[in-house]
Structure 1
Amino acid sequence: MAGGQLKSVASLLLVLNFCMFAVVLGIGGWAMNRAIDHGFIIGPGFDLPAHFSPIYFPMGNAATGFFVLFALIAGVVGVASVISGLNHVRFWNIDSLPSATSTAAIAWSLTLLAMGFASKEIELEIRNAKLRTMEAFLIILSFTQLLYIAVIHGASSTR
């Protein structure tokens, strides 16, 4: 009985995580595109500006580049984790558990890394509303991804 309830909880968390990772990827893609389009312009002699940084973002603060980069990586790995998790929910046996757990743990650790840069960006205070939204989503995702890992491990111990 508990396995069926945990299966539905895991399915709900997977759908929630997928939607949130998709939003993170969308906002992160926007930020990366804006940084590429409006970043430093290298002059005709290919001289770099005085304060050139390869991770320069015209919006936000000094932590924005690292935050967006790691948020994009966490988002891609998170979507892969959801795909592996859907496969596990479909079969719901001990053979599909290791791949779902390992990808979920990797996605969670990368989400925590991006959340660390988000907290640094919050501390530095200069950012726009889209970056604030991405920060909030990563903070929530760090909890829901951990909850998903606990649910699939809890289901394996009830068998």
Structure 2
Amino acid sequence: MAGEQLKGVASMLLVLNFCMYAIVLGIGGWAMNRAIDYGFIIGPDLQLPAHFSPIYFPMGNAATGFFVTFALIAGVVGIASLISGINHLRAWTVDSMSAAASAAIIAWGLTVLAMGFAWKEIDIGARNSRLRTMEAFLIILSATQLFYIVAIHGASSRR
């Protein structure tokens, strides 16, 4: 009985996390594209700026490059973990839970890492609304991904 209730919670969290990871990937892809298009162009007669960073983003602040890079990695791994989670929801056995849980834990760890860079970016300031949106989504995703992990583990302990 409790396992079926947790299955519903887990499926709702899967759908929510999929939507949020897709939005993070969309905004992160925009930021990466903008950085590639408007980044530094170093020619033979140009000098590097004094505080040159190889991860330079024309919007945001000094933490933006790290934040966007790890947000994209967390988004891709998060989507991959959701695929494993869908397989677990279909089977809903202890055998399928280990793959779903391990992928979800890895995705959660990378999401928490990206969230740490989001907090640093918030601390420094001077960022646009798209980056603020991605920061908020990663902070929320770090909690919802953890709740998803708890939901699939709680169901297996009741069997």
Fold match (TM-score > 0.5): yes
The equivalent of 2:116 in structure 1 is: 116
Evaluate the alpha carbon distance shift between residue 9 and residue 35 of structure 1 in structure 2; reply closer, same or farther with a 3 A threshold: same
Q: Distance in 1 between matches of 2:88 and 2:126?
A: 41
Aligned to 1:126, the other structure's residue is in SS state coil
The equivalent of 2:16 in structure 1 is: 16
The equivalent of 1:151 in structure 2 is: 151
1:35-65 Cα shifts (integer Å, max 9, x gaps): 000000111x275523432100000000000
Structure 1 stretches lacking a partner, 5+ long: none
The equivalent of 1:62 in structure 2 is: 62
Query: 1:47-126 residue pairs with structure 2 within 5 A?
Result: 49-51=48-50, 52-126=52-126
Aligned to 1:6, the other structure's residue is in SS state helix
Query: 1:22-37 residue pairs with structure 2 within 5 A?
Result: 22-37=22-37
Report the AA paired with residue 153 of structure 1: H
TM-score normalized by the length of structure 2: 0.97
Report the AA paired with residue 105 of structure 1: I
Evaluate the alpha carbon distance shift between residue 90 and residue 46 of structure 1 in structure 2; reply closer, same or farther with a 3 A threshold: farther
TM-score normalized by the length of structure 1: 0.97
Evaluate the alpha carbon distance shift between residue 48 and residue 152 of structure 1 in structure 2; reply closer, same or farther with a 3 A threshold: farther
Q: Distance in 2 between matches of 1:75 and 1:67?
A: 12
Aligned to 1:42, the other structure's residue is in SS state coil
The equivalent of 1:40 in structure 2 is: 40
Report the AA paired with residue 12 of structure 1: M
Q: Distance in 2 between matches of 1:116 and 1:153?
A: 25
| Identical-pair percentage | 74
Report the AA paired with residue 66 of structure 1: F
1:90-134 Cα shifts (integer Å, max 9, x gaps): 000011011000000000000000000000000001100000000
Aligned to 1:20, the other structure's residue is in SS state helix
